Amino acid sequence: MKKPFKIGILQIIAKVSYYLGLTHLSRFCFSRKNKIIILMYHRISDINNCDLDLDIVVTPKEFERQMEYISKNYNPISFNELMECLENKKNLLGNSVIVTIDDGYKDCYMNAYPILQRYKVPATLFLATNYIDSQELYWWDKVAYAINKTNLSSFSVPELGTYTLRSRIQRAEAIRNILKKLKKMKDGDKNKIVNELVQMLKVEIDNEVTKELFLTWEEIKEMSENGMDFGAHTCSHAILTRVPFEQAKNEIIKSKSVIEGQINKKVDFFAYPGGTINDFDERIKETLKNDGFKAAVTTIHGINKLNSEIDLYSLKRIDINANIGMYLFKLELTGMLDSLYWIRNKLKRKG
């Protein structure tokens, strides 16, 4: 699979940094106390012959290498341990890392769960409750499946543009571009366009694809009883600022209640669907606080400084996906790239 250009450049930087010893050096330079790194995963699965969204997939082999590296070189903790430090005003150990996995795919149980147990790495799974025990596809998987399976060599949609599908690379690029555009739309418009796209591409979704795609409540209960933590991710994975506020409020409250009823434990943490700066606001954060959530995570890239200015309801994460190799994974954890992004943004503003 062809990698996005920006990722390719970052991987070159990461590999050079590793062999020059800069990655190892920066791990110590940036390993100050009172910082928390939160990693974001979605799927842990082998990607061979998969027609769904491949960019969110990390292979079990790669995930195991990453968890082994964390267990040996970092301090993996849970959200509860983080909150205990903050509430008791204790310093967090250097190089502390929290692992999170979004959306509730079954491969979290099949592949990630045994690896996390093996290396004694705690993790939090954020669940969109409507999909648990279901055979429905997320909208991004519908798009990927339809484009990968269609026999058409090209197509055009006014809201999305014109695309050529003569090669696997062209199909992958079409999926990325379309998903990027759809993420900016209101939920109702987005879902309508996705369904129309699937029909236009003349694709029927095979039941075998959806048969065992998501976790069951029995699997979730088993993991919960064995140390895995669970957080809320709404019911339908609605982007909360792109639906009516009352619906957003209900998505938050109901998803928390459903998970608590199933695992018989309190749910204190939330992950925003979409998770960009435009996907939540002060009213949403206030709803989370009023419903008893202690913190919420975004998809905004970065490492969190635990100072007096930290907003626990907009915690940053580092996205670990199919395009992140081991060299880039190690460099991301040091925080060195975070500093380079900060310098770049400062220069952009001055320019």
Domain range annotation of the chain? 5-134+214-350, 139-208
Distance (Å, whole) CA 212 – CA 59? 18
Cα dihedral 159, 105, 239, 260 in deg (nearest 10)? 160
Determine the pLDDT at residue 347.
59
pLDDT tens-digit series, residues 229-278: 999 999 999 999 999 999 999 999 999 999 999 999 999 999 999 999 99
Q: Which helix (H) or strand (E) holds 25?
A: helix 22-29
Residue 154: strand, helix, or coil: strand
- What does pTM read for this prediction? 0.92
Give me the residue label for tokens 């341990």: 81
Q: Locate 28 and state its tokens.
A: 């110590």
At 32 the pLDDT is: 64
What three-state secondary structure class fits 106?
coil
What is the DSSP secondary structure assignment for residue 17, as one 8-state letter? Answer: H
Cα 348 vs. chain centroid, distance in angstroms? Answer: 27
Confidence at residue 342, expressed as pLDDT on a 0 to 100 scale: 62
Half-sphere CA count of 202, side-chain side, radius 13 A: 6
Handedness of CA 276, 240, 322, 78 (dihedral sign): positive
Q: Are 126 and 119 in contact (CB under 8 A)?
A: no
User: How would DSSP label each residue in 314-328?
Assistant: SEEEEE--TT--HHH
Give bridge partners of residue 255 from the DSSP assignment.
Answer: none
Q: What is the pLDDT of residue 86?
A: 92
First-to-last CA distance in the chain? Answer: 35
Low-confidence ranges of the chain (pLDDT < 50): 1-3, 5
What is the pLDDT at residue 30?
65
Distance, in Å, from the CA atom of 274 to the CA atom of 240, rounded to the nearest integer, reads: 9
* CATH architecture under which domain 5-134+214-350 falls: Alpha-Beta Barrel (3.20)
Query: Given this model, what pLDDT does residue 341 score?
Result: 64
For the stretch 39-87, pLDDT in tens is 999 999 986 657 888 889 999 999 999 999 999 999 999 999 999 999 9
